[in-house]
Amino acid sequence: MPSPVGPYRSHVRAENFVFCSGQIGLASDGTLKDGFLEQFRQAMVNLESVLTEAGAGLGNVVKTTVFLVDADHFSAMNEAYANCFASSLPARSCVIVKELPKGALVEIEAVAHLG
């Protein structure tokens, strides 16, 4: 899992919830993956690592927010997202933004329930 790109923690546990900071497609060596789908997949790998560190997994996720810099990636994101959460789809918001840290094309944050 790459280091955070700012002064924050990767996750916070509160009661029976884990609040995960947004994850972008940075590989463990700190380089940004090429292309939207590669960045999306790496962001999900990073998110899963954060959840595992907190004692949870993707199956515990109850809410996500996905940030995209290009609305044209919405369909590809939907397809890849559905594959990641095949067993239980969490609630989700998707926001189109002007830009993301490090020039990323996608960022994903999540809330997981541990109870």
What would the pLDDT profile of 34-84 be if each residue is shown by its tens digit? 999 999 999 999 999 999 999 999 999 999 999 999 999 999 999 999 999
Dist. CA 62–CA 70, nearest whole Å: 25
pLDDT for the residue 3: 65
Total domains in the chain come to 1
pTM, two decimals, is 0.92
Residue 1 is assigned to a structural domain of this protein:
no
Sheet with 17-23: list strands edge to edge: 11-14, 17-23, 106-113, 61-68, 91-96
112, 51 contact by CB (below 8 A): yes
Kindly name the residue from 94, 95, 108, 112 that is annotated as catalytic: 94
Dist. CA 37–CA 25, nearest whole Å: 9
pLDDT for the residue 65: 98
* Catalytic residue list contains 84: no
29: domain CATH number is: 3.30.1330.40
| Chain centre distance of CA 29 | 18
Span 27-42, pLDDT tens digits: 999 999 999 999 999 9
Query: Is the pLDDT reported for residue 26 higher than 80?
Result: yes
Query: Is the pLDDT reported for residue 99 higher than 90?
Result: yes
pLDDT for the residue 86: 79
CB atoms < 10 A from the CB of 47, how many?
26
Write out the residue range of the structural domain in which residue 87 sits. 11-113
Q: Please state, in angstroms and as integers, the Cα–Cα distance from residue 84 to each residue in 5, 6, 14, 29, following that order.
A: 24, 27, 25, 23
Residue 67 is assigned to a structural domain of this protein:
yes
Residue 108 is assigned to a structural domain of this protein:
yes
Say whether 106 sits in a helix, a strand or coil: strand
